[in-house]
Chains A and B, each alone.
Chain A
Amino acid sequence: MGESMYKILSAEFIAPNVKSFVIEAPHIARKRKAGQFIILRVHDRGERIPITIADSNQEEGWINIIVQGLGKTSAHLNTLEAGDHLQDLVGPLGLPTHIENWGTLVCMSGGVGTAEALPIAAAAKAAGNRVISIIGARSKDLLIAEEHMGEIVDEVRISTDDGSSGRHGLVTDVLQDIIDEGIQPDMVVAIGPLPMMAAVSAQTKTINIPTMVSLNAIMVDGTGMCGACRATVGGKTVFVCVDGPEFDAHQVDFKELGMRQKMYKQQEEESHKCFLERQMKKVKAEEMAAGV
């Protein structure tokens, strides 16, 4: 398993700044279950970042990940193309999603969280649930994977902050609509940006619907060795990478997690700026060389 590992088989943007990769990883494809993730490094000085396995194919030996360019590492990753290699890739990590036949499952996702929700929705459907998906985005062009989700679940509902697609509003408004229509969800899964998961959790707590969230804590090793990913759940400290990433939403201390996610804000901005400046220089050099 030398340098020729972790080959990118295909890479394409599926929304502005959101890229879908198919990566050669036969061992991981064979083992992974819904809810699990990988940790990768883009280059030999790179950071380790966790990304959910959105899909996989055991026979063909690949996994699919969907990446939103947020800061330095994800932006760098999104410059890679088919034929390129990742520096490092390890997984599957985390505990698989606990799936049972709850009855009616509402799967709420926002942004790139929809990619993370796909395997869970599929597994829940396979377990016999009626699955309703609620996908939220700021606007129409930022919606991802809604067609793929449509193939899996019984019904997809969409909300956008600006009303450019689906219901004008938030995913929590759509959940309220559903309840108003007389549908009683037995279980809610919420995956997306932290404020969205916190809002869903607050909403379902008041109406007593069990809710599961997938926490995106900052990680380093992903094996339980460092404790970077710790969060407070039910008053106890957990390590998200080995005890999660999924937890009972109503027990999660979202405020603490929100603050922990911002731990390196300043450095992250500095790192991203350096990266963009280097990219600019590269583009300029290429333009010079091409005589533009």
Chain B
Amino acid sequence: MDRQKPESFNPIPVKERLTIPRQNMPEQDPNIRNGNFLEVNLGLTEDQAVIEAQRCIECKKPTCIEGCPVSIQIPDFIQLICKQDFLAAANKIKEDSSLPAVCGRVCPQESQCEAVCVVGKRFESVAIGRLERFVADYAMQHGNGDGSQSNRPEPTGHKIAIVGSGPAGLAAASDLIKEGHEVTVYEALHEFGGVLVYGIPEFRLPKAILRKEVANLENRGVKFIKNFIIGRSMTLQELFEEEGFDAVFLGLGAGLPRFMNIPGENLNGVYSANEFLTRSNLMRGYDFPEWDTPLYRAKHAIIVGGGNTAMDAVRTAKRLGAEEASIVYRRSEEEMPARNEEIHHAKEEGVAFMNLVNPIEFIGDENGSVVAAKCLRMELGEPDASGRRRPVPIEGSEFIMEVDMVVIAVGNGSNPLIAQTTPEIETNKWGNIVADEDGQTSMEGVFAGGDIVTGGATVILAMGAGRKAATAINQYLKTKVGSVA
């Protein structure tokens, strides 16, 4: 696709731009923030944002765009920051992304847009994520949280149900309401946002942001229904037959915690990451007893795993007062799937990393509470199917450490609820719903996207899948339902 190079608003000669240091985002002091749940990152200032934007050398072939799963027009929005027209910059991003305030915070930028930024080849890459976050926050604060709501489109008379209010569902809803369809979002839990509210902690992604996004969509006419489980409160078939929906989008997420299947996993004090984080975030157990849901406060917590979920859990455990909160990971730090920033922040906050260690049993006391973990030390062998070197146990390396809480963060499978109650929906051997590029499933009028299709992935991929499906649903309604009506 031919791309028009955006108008430049950068007064600084290109050579000089490379001498500007990457702007550091102000953040809470590690020793203070590890005792509170307030956001760690404080965001760039306006001046910093403009300086950071001026670091972009306006490449003829901007590889950054290719690195972004939803192809945000990165050089364009960066030039608008140089121009100090932050609202226009926000609107530019919103052409391709529905949740910039979220993605600017939680995208693994270092392996996406910033990984392929040309400046990054020799210097530090342009801080695209931080800039994205800056303009999204600016727009929210300046009453333009949603760039496109102003005039409502002509109603089409088509009704679409969105199941699940995670990033996939919210993105699909946003695009479909634009077209003038009637859009209803059904959510099983009592808050909207999926993993963004129940999993990712407040200190990384404040809930207020999600509330604003949901309120924006509500203002634009999307109907939100909480406490409603499709498959239980109503079946998928009934959405069509009784409620008269013309199409359904399934953004169910990968909400089924995996355990390790080792002895002692059902002891008290052994949590899945989903439970631990849900109790803390959604139920706000960190404010117990002001909030009613209890949560263990450990002295020595270990978190098994090396992804974002593990980092969120370990930093939560630390904030709940653990003297020692440690990551136990069976490979080395290099293979950790977590974002660099999370690993870095966790270390600053005093989290210990026990790499190349794998638990094989949890040991309990007479009350059934966990008191120790039996572990093996590992070394890296040949690469496995994922291309990463396979961890193999070192013989005779068994050791026992005292712990009073364990969080298992080794990934999620797919929630089988819909598949169980809807035989027409095809799933693969991992329980993921089978859908094509456009999100079309094996059942007519039913589309799916996000973690329920890919398995646990990222916010931006889920969002992108929601948008793709929205386009396909529009097409479907035009050709199929439209011709009938």
Contacts and interface: CB of A to CB of B under 8 A. Distances in A.
Contacts of A271: 288-289, 292, 294
Given A89-B227, A256-B368, A220 B294 contact: no
B227 A267 contact: no
Contact of A91 (B232, B265, B274, B291): B232
B255 interface: yes
Contacts of B400: none
Nearest to B295: A267
Contacts of B227: 1, 88-90
A45 B415 contact: no
Interface stretch (A104-112, A151-159, A227-235): A227-235
Interface in B231-287: 232-234, 255-257, 259, 261, 265-266, 268-269, 271-272, 274-275, 278-279, 283-284, 287
Most chain-B CB neighbours within 10 Å: which of A46, A47, A87? A47
B100 to A, nearest CB: 27
A41 B226 CA distance: 13
A224 B288 contact: no
A143 to B, nearest CB: 30
B188 interface: yes
A28 B233 contact: yes
B476 interface: no
Contact of B259 (A237, A242, A267): A237
B454 to A, nearest CB: 18
Contact of B292 (A31, A73, A92): A73
Contacts of A268: 294
A194 B153 CA distance: 58
A12 interface: no
B230 to A, nearest CB: 11
B229 interface: yes
A174 interface: no
B268 A263 contact: yes
A7 interface: no
B293 interface: yes
A226 B232 contact: no
B189 interface: yes
Contacts of A27: 228, 233-234
A227 B259 contact: yes
B278 A226 contact: yes
Q: Determine chain A's interface SS by DSSP, over half rule.
A: mixed
Contacts of B275: 220, 226-228
A271 B293 CA distance: 9
A264 B294 CA distance: 7
A48 B283 contact: yes
Given A225-B255, A226-B278, A230-B266, A90 B417 contact: no
A90 B188 contact: yes
Contact of B278 (A41, A225, A231, A260): A225
A259 B188 contact: no
A222 B227 CA distance: 11
B258 to A, nearest CB: 9
A204 to B, nearest CB: 25
Contacts of B233: 27-28, 31, 90-92
B367 A262 contact: yes
Given A262-B367, A267-B294, A221 B232 contact: no
A93 interface: yes
Given A28-B233, A223-B255, A225-B257, A72 B292 contact: yes
B368 A223 contact: no
Interface in A47-85: 47-48, 72-73
Given A27-B234, A260-B368, A47 B257 contact: no
Interface string A260-282: 10111001101100100000000
A220 B283 contact: yes
Interface string B301-342: 000000000000000000000000000000000000000000
Contacts of B283: 47-48, 220
A242 B417 contact: yes
B268 A224 contact: no
A41 B190 contact: yes
B232 A31 contact: yes
A1 B225 contact: yes
B272 A227 contact: yes
A1 B226 contact: yes
Given A31-B234, A225-B256, A270 B415 contact: no
B229 A90 contact: yes
Contacts of B256: 224-225
A27 B186 CA distance: 14
B43 interface: no
Given A1-B226, A224-B417, A232 B289 contact: no
A90 B190 contact: yes
A225 B266 contact: no
Given A45-B290, A45-B292, A224-B416, 9 more contacts: A1-B228, A31-B234, A89-B227, A91-B232, A92-B233, A93-B232, A232-B266, A267-B289, A267-B294
Give 8 closest A-B pairs by Cβ, nearest first.
Answer: A259-B368, A267-B294, A225-B255, A226-B275, A90-B227, A47-B292, A227-B272, A264-B294
19 contacts: A1-B227, A45-B287, A45-B290, A47-B293, A88-B226, A88-B227, A90-B229, A91-B232, A91-B233, A220-B278, A223-B229, A223-B415, A224-B256, A226-B278, A228-B275, A242-B416, A259-B268, A260-B368, A270-B289
